[in-house]
Structure 1
Amino acid sequence: MEKDAASPVESIDRALVVLSQLAAAGTDGLSLGQLADRLGVHKTTVHRALAALRFRDFVAQDPGSGLYRLGAAAVTLGDAYYAGDNLAASLHPALVALSREVDELVHLGTLAGAQIVYLDKVEPDRPVRVWSAVGRRMPAATTALGRAMLMDRGLSAEALAPYLAADGSGGLSGDRLADVLATARARGFASECEENEPGIACVALPLERAGAAVAAVSVTAPRERMSDERMAEVADDFRRVLPGLLPPGLVVRGGV
């Protein structure tokens, strides 16, 4: 295996390369021989690295086939990095840039059960009379943030029942929510108009990692400033402003 420069600690470097190879292999896994061939070293050398990684649960070995795959500890590293406070801190500059671009209130949220929890907010220079706070929870079914995170899951009306129960207002049926999410998929963004606060509308897109939504970003504005045409323009602003400011591994839906 060619290197541009020698690693300061070769054994650690080898273990990291093993993890990279197993990540690329996915659920198919790799045998000891395959890993040795890819690293260009003897099997016993790779086996020592695997033993250390297995000890900390970064690698798992299938007892039947003997193939090696990423272990639970490796898989949860990304989840831990993109969770809660870490996610909000890493995305804050992107939220600031988007708020400045559209001159509106921007929120970051993620699913917590059947609710959306607000992780961060950036207010524009002009006032927006919206009651929101970091840490506040709202039903995912009636918020643009929640709909953005649900829109690509392909859930049936029956599977959406827990989200309707969390709403509690009785204003949505399973079929109606399924239709709303289908419309969001077709348009490429989620929205809500005056379903939570009179005179207020929101548009949102999910942020994805490995094809799954881990959070969503929304723009909130008075209804008179958020026509259907303006919503589509704001969604385009998401895709234009956010991609270059997102941490590695995160993409905005429909972005590059």
Structure 2
Amino acid sequence: MDAGAASPLESVDRALQLLEALASRGADGATLAELATGTGMHKTTAHRTLGALRHRQFVAQDGETGRYRLGRGAVALADRFLDEGNLPSLLHGALVALCAATDELVHLGVLSGAQVLYLDKVEPDRPVRVWSAVGRRRWAVTTALGRAMLAYSGTSREALDGYVRPTGGDGRSSERAVEADHVWHELERARTRGYAVEQEENEAGISCVAVPLVR
């Protein structure tokens, strides 16, 4: 955007300026005077625009202090944009670049209950192939991808049992039950290192490393 160019529709531009200002103020929000000063708007104009944003729930106002903050409408809009259905189109280019840089298979996935759901996959140009496929699922506790997400979603030791229990005896290629203590150790290591690993727990000869995408 050309910073010096005039907005083609000033009313929309004013609303966006106020939303950006509120986003930068976080949970504390801002007063009408602070928003007017920060955006360079007249208080009457800012108040009228904030009223329209409140009507659509993009802005909320504290009944006691009068301070404004982002409302549920703004949060819902961001959530819909980052919904798992949109993630492949948003991040596919990054997966392609990472695959090219490492010459390794790259996955994108999300937690779905106790499993990882694979949303996208980019493979290097070589004959070796692995079991994974877009749309397939795997127990989260046996995959690096699942462990990375569990580690950075605040999963407690007690809650981890709920992810281990459903795996039964088929959580590993060896058909042995998944050991919760082993997984917990891997989650703690992931939190320290910033990435999670899995070594031949799903397929012989295949090891994986994963990082969480944290909002």
Pick the aligned partner of 1:198 from 183, 195, 204.
204
Query: Could you tell me how far 1:150 is from its partner in structure 2?
Result: 2.0
> Quick one: distance in 2 between partners of 1:176 and 1:126?
33
Asked whether 1:183 is paired with 2:201, we answer no
Deviation per residue, 1:155-175 (Å, 9 max, x gap) = 3210222221343333222x3
Q: Deviation per CA, 1:149-201, whole angstroms, max 9, x where unpaired?
A: 1223443210222221343333222x332211111223332111121222221
Cα-Cα RMSD = 1.8
**CA radius of gyration, larger in:** 2
CA distance in 1, matches of 2:132, 2:9: 49
Any stretches of 5+ residues in structure 2 without a counterpart?
170-176
* Residue type of the alignment partner of 2:205: G
Structure 1 counterpart SS, 2:213? strand
2:68 is equivalent to residue 62 of structure 1? no
If each structure's strand is expressed as a fraction of its own residues, which one has the higher value? 1
Matched residue, 1:207: 213
Could you tell me the TM-score, scaled by structure 1's length? 0.74
**Segments ≥4 residues shifted beyond 6 Å:** none
Correspondence 1:1-256 to 2 at 5 A: 4-169=4-169, 170-173=177-180, 175-209=181-215
Aligned counterpart, 2:172: none
1:42 & 1:107 partners in 2: Cα distance? 50
Q: Deviations over 1:70-129 (max 9, x none)?
A: 011111222222222321112112211222222222111112233211010012111223
Structure 1: gaps (5+ residues): 210-256
SS of 1:69's equivalent in the other structure is: strand
Letter in 1 for 2:178: G
1:206 partner SS: coil
The 1-side partners of 2:103 and 2:66 are apart by 56
Identity among equivalent positions (%) equals 59
**2:152–2:212 contact (8 Å) kept in structure 1:** no
